[in-house]
A and B are shown apart, each in its own frame.
Chain A
């Protein structure tokens, strides 16, 4: 059995091919905590007296970052954490993950709010898809879900008086998004993929991604090794998405050429200041239906809802 390269005492549980290092459970756990702390510090993700709203799905990413943040802010009485779970209304998926989200928040003593598509938009995601199918205007499930979820998380965070929104995006998530935006030639969206999204409107809460430099597999390993209960189920709509194709391809490349994911992120981070300067400042206005900030007269969520009614 291989020993940990750091303590040279315990058996390794992970072999990071991108760096050649093997780590045992305790050295690995420490390295994840250091990784997250470094990202938070480097991008000034947390400031004094922050009230941090965490988007908590119950999956490995959001549950792990909640545990990590709880620990990192342990000696910061000025920092408050609250968890927000969005219930999209996906049968056999959310009814499994929400109880896990609740349990973890309770265990850590973190205030927890659940807000649903149903109470906000009048539909659950499953209904939306059936409706749109019959109208032959069916968008991909993920497009709907993403638009509503992003809008609702921001709105709930703002209403709870949050000064930051933390999401569980990991290295894989961001690298996939970087590639997807590029492949769709959506450079405006690309310019907003940084570690920290500063609010461009008074109704937007700043969003930060402290797990951005942790590979997805290592987030899962962190949860497993530390016996954190997470929901590993698969979203029933996942198979439909372009993202899934990119995810599989990226994992194949990473196995053959370890370090590719980090390399794509580093390259993107070099481009980011230029992208932001050139594409990052479209003026925002308030949606004429719901009042949420948007680039157009009607926000994407209301646009989709309008389509359903006509």
Chain B
């Protein structure tokens, strides 16, 4: 079953659906980010990537590794 979650990236919020039981890592990979280049907040708290996401959770993706 799929559950709805919110993704916040550069203060822009979008909604998406992920498989129930997905981890932060699953979502980050699905969105095409490399784990080494982002820090993720789940409902405003920095979490490790094995944290599970629940219905209506808000995931903030902070891209911390860029060029220069």
Contacts and interface: CB of A to CB of B under 8 A. Distances in A.
Interface of A: 1-2, 11-15, 22, 25, 59-60, 93, 172, 215-217, 220-221, 224-225, 232-235, 237-239, 241, 243-244, 247-248, 251-252, 254-255
Contacts of A59: 68
Contacts of B45: 11
Task: Say which size band chain B's interface belongs to.
Answer: 10 to 19
A237 B37 contact: no
5 contacts: A13-B47, A217-B37, A232-B64, A237-B67, A252-B34
Contacts of A15: 48-50
Nearest to B49: A15
Contacts of B49: 15
Contact of B46 (A13, A237, A251): A13
A220 B67 contact: no
B13 interface: no
A1 B34 contact: no
A43 B64 CA distance: 28
Contacts, number: 74
Interface in B25-62: 34-37, 39, 45-51, 62
A60 B65 CA distance: 9
A243 B67 contact: yes
A208 B22 CA distance: 43
Nearest to B66: A234
Nearest to A59: B68
Of all A-B residue pairs in the complex, the 8 with the closest CB atoms, nearest first, are A238-B67, A235-B68, A220-B64, A234-B66, A15-B48, A251-B36, A238-B68, A13-B46
A241 B36 CA distance: 19
Given A217-B64, A243-B67, A251-B65, 6 more contacts: A11-B47, A13-B47, A220-B62, A234-B67, A247-B65, A251-B34
B39 A224 contact: yes
Nearest to A219: B64
Contacts of B51: 1-2
A93 B51 CA distance: 35
B48 A13 contact: yes
Given A251-B36, A255-B36, A2 B48 contact: yes
A134 B62 CA distance: 38
Contacts of B36: 215-217, 251, 254-255
Contacts of B39: 217, 220-221, 224
B8 interface: no
B13 to A, nearest CB: 19
Contacts of A220: 39, 62, 64-65
